[in-house]
Chain A
């Protein structure tokens, strides 16, 4: 029962180390170090990273930027709620707002072009979850995060919300249409 009793070696730091344990610790350590280097490696050589680019903002300031973009680049309206679909110029800054309970506005992007996608919330926290790709980031009010994205396949993508934000959380949905040039 000795895990329940004081160790016979009075100074446990001197207890012997068994070969099985020693070998396993060495293997496990190497694996942990490997996993450690994988992250910086991917920052340099991998294509999917979030670099942490973000700015402080306020709902009012952010909302103004979104509206300016909607004003300038709306190409059509969809659904009976007349949700604007915005086609910003290739390479430009794109502003997406999460709010109770919608992603605003809908976007139309060109395949193969790179955009700076800004995301923020106008009220509570939300979860940007792009389907069916399954890319997920946290959306926090007061912070404007910038993801530089290059959609590489055309098609219809859906943004759902995966941070709980109230009773209609499940109905919060937006769209990104990726079109060929």
Chain B
């Protein structure tokens, strides 16, 4: 059997033909869903904007269910499957294991997403992506999710299979590259996640068709969040890998220490997936010790891992820049970074937004007692948009700008738009999220159609500040959607209208040369800090964290005593 490979002359990356096709297909499908989810996001945010209040109540909940599922599951996971194939086949210069199974994975995911999508469109399944029992959805709502998950699981096994093939066929020597290692972390967590998902969604499906009479709603929450939370760890591992990859691509940066970065990834596997308890901190009947163990021991060691990556990624960039001679002062390395290159700016905004907005707020609201003043308020989407939108989505967008010329062999269409896109999207999303957090602190609920409570037997008025915050959420939400639309236009435009790159890059049946080892680290260790600027930034981060943490304890101490 002859395998076809081509080498990209720009990047030196080697693409196995079937892998290349599948990476393209999964990535393009992802972007199409991102566009759909973005339109739904626009409708959601225009409804939560009190002065606009666009949709009817029924339609709002239907659209919000669609927005959550399409964004969090469909867009992100299709893109992650593309990343898995890229990190195994392309980075290791290996053939993709069992392309047929990878096609099956794709078909199941697409079919599953379509089936769930139809269920949502039909209107009987406006149950939100969490689909808490005993609120019922149509059976095919769950069925579609199950098929989608099975497809993703197959994709994970194709990735693992490719690692085995690469090892057996000796396409590289030594250990797998750091980025592939991060993808492996994501894949392992994904397998755990899908198992939890199956444990809970299959019985729920059977319940919806009447085979099982009852599902315990608390048990549902515990297991559902075993999936729902750890699926966020997949995203974190994946986007951290993308950060490392971009630091390497743009700056030639080498990880500061392979040992530290890899150990930090391993901490994700060991701990983050246990942290699901922080979604049920104020649920009845969940023991305190377990909550504390889960949120502290388990979550904080994973938080530690993210804090480590948050230092080592910019640290690696700083070291690389200093080696190029940008050594003046603390921050010349950062000032002279290519801010006009969306691959870099997208990645850097992703890193800062994820850390400062997503990370800090996640830890604060995951603190057992503080959760009392945050649970289910609109603060919660205010927290996770910085994680999944600024963190994951923007990192994936940045990687896409790199992939368009390399993988699709097209020049970027509207490069001026591409240059501005990470800023518009990052700025809009960050401010939208901040105002959601502000409104949540004032008590405004998430998943809530009317903050004026029309039709309620009693009356209650939120103050002007809460209304203003929701108005600003609306305005910056629209900015965020514009940023998202710019991305979709640039990418789709590039694929259709972008100038074809005529570099010579033909498919051959010759096996690519073995992957060389990375360069050895120069021996500058021990002479003081190699990345002082990054260290200062890290201290700023820590100070913000500490202040914000105590501020929330202060808020908490002002409410009624209770226990």
> Which A residues are within 8 Å of any B CB, using their own CB?
1-21, 23-25, 27-29, 31-33, 35-36, 38-40, 42-43, 46-52, 54-56, 78-79, 81, 83, 102, 106, 119-120, 123-125, 127, 129, 131-145, 147-153, 158, 160-175
Contacts and interface: CB of A to CB of B under 8 A. Distances in A.
Contacts of B286: 52
B179 A79 contact: no
A167 B61 contact: yes
A134 B442 contact: yes
A150 B563 CA distance: 9
A170 B538 contact: no
A3 B563 contact: no
B561 A48 contact: yes
Nearest to B280: A138
Q: Which 7 A-B pairs have the closest CB atoms?
A: A2-B518, A145-B284, A54-B284, A162-B445, A54-B285, A5-B518, A36-B296
Contacts of A135: 372-373, 559-560, 562
B517 A5 contact: yes
B445 A1 contact: no
B487 interface: no
A168 to B, nearest CB: 7
A6 B61 contact: no
Given A18-B530, A170-B450, A150 B172 contact: no
Contacts of A138: 221, 280, 282-284, 375-376
Contacts of B173: 6, 10
B36 interface: no
Contacts of B517: 5-8
A141 B217 contact: yes
Contacts of A54: 284-285
Q: Which of B172, B368, B520 has the most CB of A within 10 A?
A: B368
B244 A21 contact: no
B275 interface: no
A152 B376 contact: no
B460 A160 contact: yes
B17 interface: no
Given A3-B178, A28-B304, A28-B307, A137 B372 contact: yes
How many residues of B sit at the interface, in one of the four size bands? 35 or more
B308 A149 contact: no
Given A5-B516, A18-B525, A135-B372, 18 more contacts: A1-B518, A3-B254, A5-B177, A16-B257, A16-B525, A20-B529, A25-B308, A28-B307, A38-B553, A47-B562, A48-B560, A79-B457, A129-B443, A129-B445, A136-B373, A138-B280, A160-B460, A169-B61
B515 interface: yes
Given A140-B218, A150-B562, A52 B287 contact: yes
Contacts of B497: none
Nearest to A10: B174
Contacts of B175: 6-7, 10-12
Contacts of A170: 57, 448-451, 453-456
B312 interface: yes
B545 interface: yes
Contacts of A166: 61, 135
B535 A20 contact: yes
B282 A132 contact: no
Interface string B279-323: 010111111100110011100110110011001100110000000
B453 A47 contact: no
Contact of B282 (A29, A136, A142): A136
Q: Which of A2, A3, A14, A145 has the most CB of B within 10 A?
A: A3
